[in-house]
Amino acid sequence: LSTVHANSPTEALWRLETLAMSGDHRAAGATVRNQLRAAVDLIVQMERRDGHRRISEIEAVA
């Protein structure tokens, strides 16, 4: 379980990839992408409306 700030599930994966690569500049983008897809099953997008957070989207990671 983890959190990341992003505007969509697709952007969340891109953000995680970018963060992982910033920690190891030698890591290839394709390698990091494959590792994320192997480690992450679902992305649950939340939004805040009327002072409450609600699930707005659930996306399975292929």
- Provide the token pair at 17: 């990839």
Distance CA 59, CA 41 (A): 9
Distance CA 34, CA 51 (A): 37
Total-model pTM: 0.77
- Provide the token pair at 48: 């805040």
Q: What is the pLDDT of residue 25?
A: 72
Q: What is the pLDDT of residue 10?
A: 92
Q: pLDDT by residue for the chain (62 residues), tens digit each?
A: 889 999 999 999 999 988 888 877 777 888 888 999 999 999 999 999 999 999 999 999 98
Count H helices, E strands: the chain? 2, 2
H/E stretch holding 56 reads strand 52-60
Q: What is the pLDDT of residue 46?
A: 95
